[in-house]
Amino acid sequence: MPVTPMQIASLLPIRPVVFLGQVLISAFEAIAGRWQFRPKDLGRVAADCSARAVPIVTVVNVLIGAILAFVGAVQLVKFGAGIYVADLVGIAVAREMAAIITAVVMAGRTGAAFAAELATMQANEEVDALEVLGLNAVDFLVLPRVTALLVTMPLLYVYGCVTGLLGGMAVAAGMLDISPAAYLDRTLEALDWSHLGLGFSKSIVFGALIGMVGSYFGLYAQRNAEGVGVATTNAVVVSIVGIIVLDAVFAICANALGI
């Protein structure tokens, strides 16, 4: 009986590297038009990663923008520079907070769901059934999930920026009597495309990370009920730690490039 790529990867100590290679190969084959997943599966996952995630993304980003504005107002008002709350919120949200907070929320919501779903399939031997039918599990299960997050995370980032700025505007108007027009004018003056481009790039990388980490721990979970819980926990923890590490790498690179 031929050995499948999944079985080879499970025997290697560098299994995460092998898994990453499989995902990249599947991605190049999909770009060439040789994908194996069903479009309706991609649509289902994309809907779960986008429209159904909007309420929690809205709440979290509005609160983050409000918190940043409140902390900034308390300090800046002492120097008569309350209007610069708009600068603080705009730059912080565009460069860091919208991308990071949205990614953390998606790691806990969507990444965990990916891990639990695939771990359950592994426990029920559905993944083995796909291999027997000649369908590569990475092509059929992992690639649509990673693709969905790659597409939806940048959109959620842009939405997170808007909601974060609205949260900051509400606090600035309530605490400092700054009009919405003045707040928006100051925000547009403070922001430039480098801030937005940096945050947008982060959202793409974070989306790929969450999708691959959740799928990885789901596919290689133990074949029992405990394995589902362990896979879900590991997916969330590793995703969040990876997000923080990658953000630090982005910060170092941005500083070196003068962004």
Output the CA–CA distances (angstroms, integers) from residue 36 to 138, 200, 236, in the order listed. 9, 29, 27
pLDDT in tens, 89-136: 889 999 889 999 999 999 988 889 899 888 888 888 777 787 777 777
Closest by CA position to 147, among listed 197, 207, 214, 201: 207
16-33 tens-digit pLDDT: 788 878 888 877 877 776
Q: Residue range 29-48: average pLDDT?
A: 76
For the chain, what are the domain ranges? 5-257
State the DSSP H helix or E strand holding residue 76, giving kind and residue range, or none if neither: helix 54-76
Average pLDDT of span 152-168: 92
Does the pLDDT at position 191 exceed 90? no
- Residue 240's pLDDT is what? 93
**Residue 3: CA count within 13 A, CB half-sphere:** 6
pLDDT value of position 9: 47
Q: Which amino acid is at 142?
A: V
The pLDDT value given to residue 13:
55
* Digit-coded pLDDT (tens) for 233-245: 999 999 999 999 9
Give the range with max mean pLDDT: 34-43, 71-80, 169-178. 169-178
Helix residue ranges per DSSP H, 177-224: 180-190, 193-219
Amino acid letter for position 241: V
d(CA 227, CA 87): 47
Mean pLDDT across the chain: 84
The Cα 53–Cα 106 span in angstroms is 8
Phi and psi at 136, nearest 5°, equal -70, 125
Residue reference for tokens 């300090």: 75
Separation between Cα atoms, residue 164 and residue 101, nearest integer Å: 10
- When pLDDT is cut at 50, 70 and 90, the band that residue 8 belongs to is very low
- Integer Cα distance of 42 and 200 in angstroms: 22
